[in-house]
Amino acid sequence: MKATAFAAAAALTVLLHSVSAAQSPVPVTSPGMTGALVRYENFPSTHVRPRNVDVWLPPGYDGGGGVAYPVVYMHDGQNLFDSSTTSMGQPEWGVDETLSSLIAAGAVPPVIVVGVWNTPRRRAEYAPQALVPFLPDSVFRWIDTVKHGPPISDSYLRFLVEELKPFIDGSYRTLPDAAHTSVMGSSMGAMVSLYALCEYPHVFGSAAAISTHWPSGVSAMREYLERRLPGAGTHRIYFDFGTRGLDSAYEPYQFRVGALMAAKGYRQPRHWATLRVAGADHNERDWRARLHLPILFLLAGQR
């Protein structure tokens, strides 16, 4: 055990040195951006493919002295801040504008956001790997052929927890405990956010799952949650779904998961929230329009 821990620590030291030696964060500017955004290009990993990582610092961070900040880790990082990097011509989420407004109003505390870009293996990285034993063979073959290979989300989470988070905590003034560390994503990114909370409850204290793509494995996810959902009262989870496009199919699945949450002792709105957003579709524009809702749920109590 000691040898394994030593090897892991040595590998992390080498990784962090390679990040520091290879690059400095690149400042990113974009029309209307608030706060400060920096980008680590091709952030290395021993678990998954390198990818860009964006770090957003709230207004006042540079003059904050010894103040430490909560951190939100968000998937699909290229879609969050910068309109020049979004996928398929979609608008950016406007994370900086939404957070700056909420912070200025005193609705949430200042927070650091880490935007983790996806790769061509997005679906394989975001599909919860522990669900595989609960999936019918036909569904697993579909995931394997359509979603860029079998799930590798365990490796993706190891990247987040063992490599990226230690780097962020070592480079910025963070509150590193689980109570001040959240994870958020949409669609398949929502699935892997919930998975991260369940696999690493000592790392992530809360999760926001926006437009969770339940049809890719809701029955399996329910069986998994029966076994791995953290105890009620220790963690907080936000869900939502729209009523148009892909989201229009989500309500019955979300109802089944909600029933499980209630049976496990989770109580709304203290530990858990599920919102039905009438008229919302499955896209960045509609996620941007309601981003303040999951942000308020995750951060309003972090004072």
Q: Of 111, 115, 116, 92, whose CA–CA distance to 101 is shortest?
A: 111
Q: For the CA atoms of 62, 17, 167, 93, what is the dihedral angle to 10 degrees?
A: 70
> Nearest to residue 128, comparing CAs of 52, 207, 55?
207
In a domain, 3, yes or no: no
Residue with tokens 């964060």: 25
What string of pLDDT tens digits covers the 303 residues of the chain? 555 544 455 555 555 555 654 568 999 987 788 999 999 999 999 999 999 999 999 999 987 678 999 999 999 999 999 888 887 678 899 999 999 999 999 999 999 999 999 999 998 999 898 987 777 655 555 555 555 678 899 999 999 999 999 999 999 999 999 999 999 999 999 999 999 999 999 999 999 999 999 876 677 888 899 999 998 899 999 999 999 999 999 999 999 999 999 999 999 998 999 999 999 999 999 999 999 999 999 998 776
Q: How far apart are CA 41 and CA 22, in angstroms?
A: 10
Q: Is 185 inside any structural domain?
A: yes
Residue 9 lies in a domain: no
Residue 50, domain CATH: 3.40.50.1820
Q: What is the pLDDT of residue 119?
A: 95
Residue type, position 37, single letter: L
| Residues 6 or more apart in contact with residue 40 via CB below 8 angstroms | 19, 23, 25, 26, 52, 53, 54, 55
What the block records as the tokens of 187 is 């669609």
CB atoms within 10 A of CB 5: 9
What does the alpha-carbon distance between residue 257 and residue 115 come to, in Å, rounded to a whole number? 27
Q: How many domains does the chain have?
A: 1
Per-residue tokens: 8: 């892991």
- Structure token pair of residue 222: 């329910």
91 found inside a domain: yes
Q: Which domain holds residue 176?
A: 23-299
Q: Classify residue 1: in a domain, yes or no.
A: no
What's residue 21's pLDDT?
A: 43
Q: Is residue 8 part of a domain?
A: no
Rounded Cα distance between 152 and 146, Å, is 14
Distance CA 120, CA 104 (A): 37
Phi/psi at 240 (nearest 5 deg)? Answer: -150, 170
pLDDT value of residue 222: 86
Residue 14 lies in a domain: no
3-state secondary structure the chain: CHHHHHHHHHHHHHHHHHHHHHCCCEEECCCCCCCEEEEEEEECCCCCCCEEEEEEECCCCCCCCCCCECEEEECCHHHCCCCCCCHHHCCCCCHHHHHHHHHHCCCCCCCEEEEECCCCCHHHHHCCHHHHHHCCHHHHHHHHHHCCCCCCHHHHHHHHHHHHHHHHHHHCCECCCHHHEEEEEECHHHHHHHHHHHHCCCCCCEEEEECCCHHHCHHHHHHHHHHHCCCECCEEEEEEEECCHHHHHCHHHHHHHHHHHHHCCCCCCCCEEEEEECCCCCCHHHHHHCCHHHHHHHHCCCC
How many alpha carbons fall within 13 Å on the CB side of residue 124? 16
Confidence at residue 132, expressed as pLDDT on a 0 to 100 scale:
79
Q: Compute the distance between CA of residue 179 and CA of residue 161 in angstroms, rounded to an integer.
A: 15
Rounded (5°) CA angle 186-25-60 = 75
pTM for the structure as a whole: 0.91
Position 13 in a domain: no
